[in-house]
Amino acid sequence: MSFSIGIVGLPNVGKSTLFQALTKKQVDAQNYPFCTIDPNVGVVKVPDKRLDKLAETLQATQKIPTAIEFVDIAGLVKGASQGEGLGNKFLANIREVDAICQVARDFENKDIVHVNNKIDPIDDARTINLELILADMETVDKRIAKLKKQSRGDCDKKIAKLLAACEKIDRILKDEKLAIETDLDEDEKNLIKELNLLTIKPMIYVRNINEKSEVSSELNNKKNTIDINIKLEADLSGLSIDEESEYRKEIGAGESGLDKLILASYKLLDLVTFYTASFKNINQAWTIKRGSKAPQAAGTIHNDFEQGFIRAEIINWQDLINCKSETVAREKGLIRVEGKEYIMQDGDVCHFLFNK
């Protein structure tokens, strides 16, 4: 199961530099299924200290991190919703991703021309969001018109509820707000999935800074905003882990902005991680949506595991580390048996039993 984050923004704000820096953190091809993908998609490993500790404690011969995809999407310009620039292609690419990472530039550099000839990250974000809103308004208006025709006379409850949900969203969009801000119940959220709206996707903002940028800006008032010196991160991403760590200490750069973005993106999608330890002594991390049940988790490893699921043996990762071995954990009764209705928890270490 893969999840993707689309990197968007105006031209010359640092999107491609961010993408290039991220993709130097790619997982090994053999560790990621179906990794022959388009060149503008990078499969990036998710930093995971729990996996590191598990592999060390269990003396694993190999550890395989979970991964997330980042997609480098062409720069947007004002009027994209009407087809300006690469508008239609831009919007189509965004529809394919699970969440949006919006990059806004907040540094001066006379050698890098800003498309609007001014540095104003909040205005950049407003431009991007407005184009997405306008595209969604067109989608919603068309659907409302169609639903109203279908609802003449007696109509089923599904059509009536979808129409009501669309009208709620339409009011939000016309206030130049994102569709994700609409107050929808779970049924309505499920019904509108077919619309594939752009502004219903969760969004994270990256303020691209340099050493001269202000400590914060109006953009930082937005939820899910991260400051990253993208050029610095791109330069450091080519170093070894030890070299990068040493250089960060020298310049006081703190933790990797890329790692912060990857983890924040993972959290944005409301994902959780579970682990397996195979007979070949391989520790592996896996990604599932929060609320997934044990058979669904097993299915991320192989479809046969879900179809033939019998039960799962599960222990919390910290309990396993404290016991230092599976044998001790069993003796202490910390490994429990769970069935098909068990909801997976972040940090579960699992062994699935299934019919072949």
Q: Is the pTM of this model over 0.85?
A: no
Q: Which residues contact 354 (CB under 8 A, 6 or more apart)?
A: 298, 304, 305, 307, 308, 309, 310
For 59, list phi and psi in degrees, rounded to 5.
55, 50
* 291-354 homologous superfamily: Beta-grasp domain (3.10.20.30)
Q: Which residue has the higher pLDDT, 155 or 131?
A: 131
Q: What are phi and psi of 207, to 5 degrees?
A: -90, 110
* Helices 157-174 & 121-150 angle (0-180, nearest 10): 150
Q: Distance of alpha carbon 276 from its chain centroid, rounded?
A: 22
Helix (H, G, I), strand (E, B) or coil at 276: strand
Residue 213 scores a pLDDT above 90: no
| Average confidence (pLDDT) over 254-259 | 84
Query: Which sequence spans correspond to the domains of the chain?
Result: 291-354
Q: What is the pLDDT of residue 299?
A: 94
172 pLDDT above the threshold of 70: yes
The confidence score (pLDDT) of residue 280 equals 64
Percentage of residues in the chain with pLDDT exceeding 70?
Answer: 88
Other Cβ atoms within 10 Å of 28 Cβ, number: 11
